[in-house]
Amino acid sequence: MNYSRNSDFDPNRYKLYYIRNGQLVWRARTQVGKPYRETPVFRGDIKYLEFNPTWTVPPGILAKDILPKIKQNPAYLETKRLQVLNE
**Is there a contact between 27 and 16 (Cβ–Cβ < 8 Å)?**
yes
In tens, the pLDDT along 13-59 reads 778 888 888 888 888 888 777 777 777 666 677 787 787 888 888 89
**From CA 26, how far away is CA 35, in angstroms rounded?**
27
Res. 1 pLDDT band, cuts 50 70 90: very low
- Spacing of C-alpha 53 from chain mean position: 10
pTM, 2 dp: 0.52
